[in-house]
Homo-oligomer: A and B are copies of this chain.
Amino acid sequence: MSYFSFEIVHTSKKSRARVGRIHTPHGIIETPNFVPVGTNGALKAIDSVLVDKLDVQLMFCNTYHLMLQPGPDLIQSAGGLHTFINRKKPIITDSGGFQVFSLMYGGITAELKSSGAKKENNSVLKINEDGVLFRSYRDGSEILLTPESSVQAQKKFGSDIIIPLDELPPFNMNPRKLLNSFERTHRWEKRSLEEHLKTPNNQAMYAVIHGGIDPELRKKSAEIANNQAFDGHAIGGSMGENHEQMFTMLDGLLPHLAYERPIHLLGIGDLKAIMPFVLKGIDTMDSSYPTKCARHGVLFTTQGTVKLMNSKYRDLHEPIDKNCPCHTCTNYTVSYLRHLFKAHELSAYTLASIHNIHFMINYMAEIRSKIMNDEI
């Protein structure tokens, strides 16, 4: 399949970390890399042209949101998601399942505390072998999300990488229910792959690896995925209550995943976690962490984070990072950025987001360089 391939350039002598290149119809993704989240087909506060200029090689968009607004048909009529949002580089989309099940069980924090109890007034109307029926928060209409309909939406988007529909079981679900969910998820993924392969359209599909923090289930999930014609693997499902449980789970899982396929980690990419992920052999990871931090005035530097609202930055007439070549640091001071935040000026969010995205992209380039030199 020439439209999509993963080339492993170098594996570190010190760890499982590897430098690779994912080839897609919209260009190359150098790995390891960070994947910013542009939920609605837009990175928050940064327009697509600028996102391309910041060398964001892969952007993550959410099918759930795009399905409800503006809808797959409208995006298709525009010529696909790349044309619609004017992005030249690769795009990965999820299935919509994560948001639907978050609506059902609550957000990640609430989900960790739940044992599978549904939220009151939740918008999920029915879930069965076919798929999930839920109510649109935008217009109240009923929407049936199935493995097939999710793939069809992502076909209309023309995403470079498609994620199949999975069920996100709550962390504390009882073992029998968890196993049922696990098995249904893999049946859904198989249906998704079949639907996808009817019209591959130069798109790739990653399997989602499930199994919670159960090492045997994770291993089994890896084997199921390895044995099907997926182009890569995305680690999903519950990853435990803290970083330690997650790292233990990953240590157990990663040796079982097909080495020659790219490995994505879904929805986690805080600064502290990235290096451990890379050392364990993860190639890409998506997160809204840098843009969310930016909008809260938390800026990344090699010397630690700068919390702009701290009064000690009131009259710091210097860039966030003197050595940073980003638009924000070459043009503005900490004191001015802090003022923009205090005054609730919209450009505050843009300038802070530009800096944090630039930092992440640069950080990943340094990591790749260290792997090439077997330093990590």
Contact = CB atoms under 8 A, between A and B. Distances in A.
Q: How large is the interface on A (under 10, 10 to 19, 20 to 34, 35 or more residues)?
A: 35 or more
Interface stretch (A222-230, A247-255, A343-351): A343-351
Contacts of A346: 44-45, 346, 349-350
A174 interface: no
Given A74-B315, A84-B335, A331-B86, A345 B69 contact: no
Interface string A83-112: 011100000000000000000000000000
Interface in A30-44: 40-44
Contacts of A65: 343
A365 interface: no
A177 interface: no
Residue in A47, A65, A78 with the greatest tally of chain B CB atoms within 10 Å: A47
Question: How many monomers of this chain does the complex have?
Answer: 2
Interface in A17-33: none
Nearest to A38: B345
A258 interface: no
A327 B46 CA distance: 13
Contacts of A350: 45, 47, 346-347, 350
Residue in A78, A79, A315, A345 with the greatest tally of chain B CB atoms within 10 Å: A345
Interface of A: 40-49, 65, 69-70, 74, 77-79, 84-86, 314-315, 317, 327, 331-333, 335-336, 338-340, 342-343, 345-347, 349-351
